[in-house]
């Protein structure tokens, strides 16, 4: 009997239909129609995803093969979807959060012209389609199609307001940075094909453990493949050294930042590593690289977020920092914690971004937090939900962020207390800058212009309802992963995802790299981190409610405000030398060498023919003489060359 999950192709089909209708009919359809179609198709996908999730929950996983995508010689790549615990969870996040953001967008973008409104929704639908393809793909090639698709949509949406040159530059930056990562991913795929002859996940993992058609990866293969895949992940998930595009990507509309640059697309790298978990587990070296990069990014981005004054930039760096946490979890082997944090982060970061969108909307496009303040009196719902989001991301006990962050910290402690200490530092920084942001925006007195104050209003219900739903999720979302030491058997997520990571955990355990920490220690660690976080929150709250940071910063603060001058550093060591090289190639190699060569050939032919012309004198005797002489030459040559 055919598996009922075979019908999963409907899930990405709905957004694709929405993309086509909205994209083609953007000039004919009315705004409300576009909004209904754009959101409706995502809702349909969401309903399908719930059904799929329930099926998977009953233990029904399935690889649905539809047709041959590439069939060349021995290589056969089928267009297939893999529906299992990991992908079904991501489906729920993408379509669920995606639907809320679509609804929010209808109100947020209502001032756009109908044509651009349609364009916006078609891009958004195309993005969801690509993201679903990425998550559902049953082999690396299908995943790569989605991977490129989301990159394209990210580019299109960052540069949505294409009349501003600055935004176009941000879009280009995001696209180019991603291309660097994508190249790594692509090379990894080629490597896999050449060594395993198949890109299907089970085949590749079997090849890694040495049980696939007699084909086996060597240690070098695994190291290189995982490293190259990780390069792809650093591009898409904004890790050092390719993270600088994400803060600039805030040029796009705020719901886009929420959907693409916080909740879904940037977690693609985490999904990919989690999907290839067995490969990573087998390479101790790359695991170390992953957590080092993750931890470094978490700290670096958190420090930058401390001094940013653009409400979206703070959230952007916070996203980079949280993604760093996820990679830290992956690198320490705490795969479930990483996926858990992806989920909770999707809730609270989407909430925070949408909240900031609501603030920006009310402020008439103002994004500088120094010109806000005291907004909690005029925007009760936004302020309340934003506060819940801040509490969740800071990791206050009971909120969703607490559980996922605690799981990551526990994993870090299992590897080494030093990693734990650094990660805890980053978590404290997170709590600090989030409450700096909250207190500066919502507490104190209003510091904007009189016009803006007059204009201040709570957003319409199409915007507040998604905020409320996401706020609820940010609070309760963590309860599915309550750690074992608090309540036995309460970690439903761990149980649910166990099959995906089973072989990996088995491998790590056999190598003695999975460290269980006893419950007393865990209580102590949780208590310590919670206490410190609460202290930091109270401190930041008091500090910035009373006296927000308005003055020019000096010293280290200035360095942080300028993002550690990383952009300038990249400009100096990569962009400028490349420009210089391009200039040299243009002015020297192109003009002198290439042009010289081409013109030289022409001039040589010209000159040579002018000399040869003299031979044609018109004198018959000359011709005969030449003929005789050349015959003589032929004879002489013949004579001497003869053996």
d(CA 223, CA 225) in angstroms, rounded, equals 6
Phi/psi of residue 41, nearest 5 degrees: -65, -35
State the minimum distance, in angstroms, from the CB of residue 609 to other proteins: 15
Between 2 and 638, CB nearer to other proteins = 638
Helices (H), 263-416: 268-275, 277-282, 284-305, 311-331, 335-362, 380-394, 400-415
Between 218 and 619, CB nearer to other proteins = 619
Between 610 and 643, CB nearer to other proteins = 610
Contacts of 299 (CB under 8 A, 6+ apart): 321, 324, 422, 425, 426, 429
601-620 footprint of other proteins as x/- string (CB under 8 A): ---------------xxxxx
| Nearest one of 353, 318, 363, 310 to 463, comparing CA atoms | 353
Between 72 and 621, CB nearer to other proteins = 621
State the minimum distance, in angstroms, from the CB of residue 617 to other proteins: 7
State the minimum distance, in angstroms, from the CB of residue 611 to other proteins: 16
Between 9 and 623, CB nearer to other proteins = 623
561-600 footprint of other proteins as x/- string (CB under 8 A): ----------------------------------------
Between 502 and 627, CB nearer to other proteins = 627
State the minimum distance, in angstroms, from the CB of residue 630 to other proteins: 13
Helix (H) or strand (E) holding 540: helix 519-546
Between 510 and 619, CB nearer to other proteins = 619
d(CA 420, CA 411) in angstroms, rounded, equals 8
Q: How many residues bind other proteins (CB under 8 A)?
A: 9
Among 598, 625, 633, 634, binds other proteins (CB under 8 A): 625
Any contact of residue 628 with other proteins (CB under 8 A)? yes
Residue recorded with tokens 């669920």: 96
State the minimum distance, in angstroms, from the CB of residue 616 to other proteins: 6
d(CA 233, CA 228) in angstroms, rounded, equals 9
Helix axis angle, 417-442 relative to 380-394, nearest 10°? 170
State the minimum distance, in angstroms, from the CB of residue 582 to other proteins: 52
Between 28 and 617, CB nearer to other proteins = 617
What does the angle CA 87 – CA 90 – CA 96 come to, to the nearest 5 degrees?
A: 135
State the minimum distance, in angstroms, from the CB of residue 624 to other proteins: 6
Interacting span for other proteins (CB under 8 A) from 101-109, 298-306, 527-535, 624-632? 624-632
Region 96-135 residues binding other proteins, contact defined as CB under 8 A: none
Residue recorded with tokens 């600088």: 244
State the minimum distance, in angstroms, from the CB of residue 643 to other proteins: 23
**Residue 620 CB: number of other CB atoms within 10 A?**
8
Radius of gyration of the chain (CA): 30
d(CA 398, CA 395) in angstroms, rounded, equals 8
The site for other proteins (CB under 8 A) is made up of 616-621, 624-625, 628
């Amino acid at each position: 009997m055919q598996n009922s999950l075979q019908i999963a192709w409907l899930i990405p089909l709905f957004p694709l239909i929405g993309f086509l209708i909205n994209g083609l009919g953007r000039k004919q359809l009315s705004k409300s129609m576009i909004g209904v179609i754009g959101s409706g198709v995502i809702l349909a996908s969401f309903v399908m995803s719930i059904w799929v999730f329930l099926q998977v929950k009953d233990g029904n996983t399935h690889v649905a093969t539809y047709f041959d995508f590439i069939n060349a010689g021995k290589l056969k790549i089928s267009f297939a979807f893999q529906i299992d615990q990991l992908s079904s969870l991501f489906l729920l996040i993408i379509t669920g959060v995606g639907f809320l953001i679509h609804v929010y967008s209808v109100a947020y973008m209502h001032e756009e012209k109908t044509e651009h409104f349609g364009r916006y929704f078609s891009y958004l639908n195309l993005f969801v389609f690509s993201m679903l393809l990425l998550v559902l793909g049953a082999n690396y090639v299908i995943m790569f199609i989605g991977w490129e698709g989301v990159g394209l949509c990210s580019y299109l949406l960052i540069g949505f307001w294409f009349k501003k040159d600055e935004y176009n530059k941000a879009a280009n930056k995001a696209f180019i940075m991603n291309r660097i990562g994508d190249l790594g991913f692509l090379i990894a795929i080629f490597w896999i094909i050449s060594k395993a002859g198949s890109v299907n996940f089970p085949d590749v993992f079997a090849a890694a453990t040495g049980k696939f058609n007699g084909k086996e990866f060597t240690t070098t293969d695994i190291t290189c493949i995982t490293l190259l895949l990780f390069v792809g992940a650093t591009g898409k998930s904004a890790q050092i050294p390719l993270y600088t595009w994400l803060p600039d990507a805030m040029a796009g509309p705020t719901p886009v930042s929420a959907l693409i640059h916080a909740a879904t697309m940037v977690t693609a790298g985490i999904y990919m590593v989690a999907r290839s978990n067995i490969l990573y587990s087998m390479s101790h070296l790359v695991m170390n690289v992953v957590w080092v990069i993750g931890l470094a990014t978490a700290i670096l981005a958190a420090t930058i977020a401390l001094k940013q004054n653009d409400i979206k930039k703070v959230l952007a760096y916070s996203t980079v920092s949280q993604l760093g946490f996820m990679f830290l979890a992956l690198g320490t082997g705490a795969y479930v914690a990483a996926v858990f944090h992806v989920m909770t982060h999707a809730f609270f970061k989407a909430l925070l971004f949408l909240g900031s969108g609501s603030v920006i909307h009310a402020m008439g496009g103002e994004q500088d937090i120094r010109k806000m303040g005291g907004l909690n009196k005029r925007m009760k719902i936004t302020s309340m939900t934003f506060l819940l989001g801040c509490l969740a991301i800071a990791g206050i006990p009971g909120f969703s962020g607490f559980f996922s962050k605690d799981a990551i910290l526990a994993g870090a402690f299992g590897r080494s207390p030093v990693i734990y200490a650094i990660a805890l530092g980053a978590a404290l920084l997170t709590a600090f800058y989030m409450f700096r942001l909250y207190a500066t925006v919502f507490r104190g007195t209003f510091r904007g212009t009189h016009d803006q104050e007059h204009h201040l209003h709570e957003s319409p219900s199409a915007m507040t309802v998604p905020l409320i739903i996401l706020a609820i999720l940010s609070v309760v979302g963590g309860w599915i992963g309550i750690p074992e030491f608090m309540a036995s058997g309460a970690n439903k997520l761990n149980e649910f995802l166990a099959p995906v990571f089973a072989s990996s955990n088995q491998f790590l355990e056999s190598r003695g790299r999975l460290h269980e920490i006893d419950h007393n220690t865990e209580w102590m660690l949780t208590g310590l981190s919670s206490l410190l976080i609460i202290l930091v929150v109270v401190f930041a709250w008091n500090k910035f409610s009373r006296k927000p940071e308005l003055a020019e910063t000096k010293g280290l603060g200035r360095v942080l405000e300028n993002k550690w001058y990383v952009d300038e550093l990249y400009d100096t060591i990569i962009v400028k030398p490349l420009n210089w090289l391009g200039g040299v190639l243009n002015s020297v190699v192109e003009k002198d060498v290439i042009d010289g060569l081409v013109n030289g050939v022409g001039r040589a032919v010209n000159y040579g023919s002018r000399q040869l012309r003299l031979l044609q004198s018109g004198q018959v005797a000359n011709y005969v003489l030449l003929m005789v002489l050349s015959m003589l030459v032929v004879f002489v040559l013949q004579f001497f060359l003869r053996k």
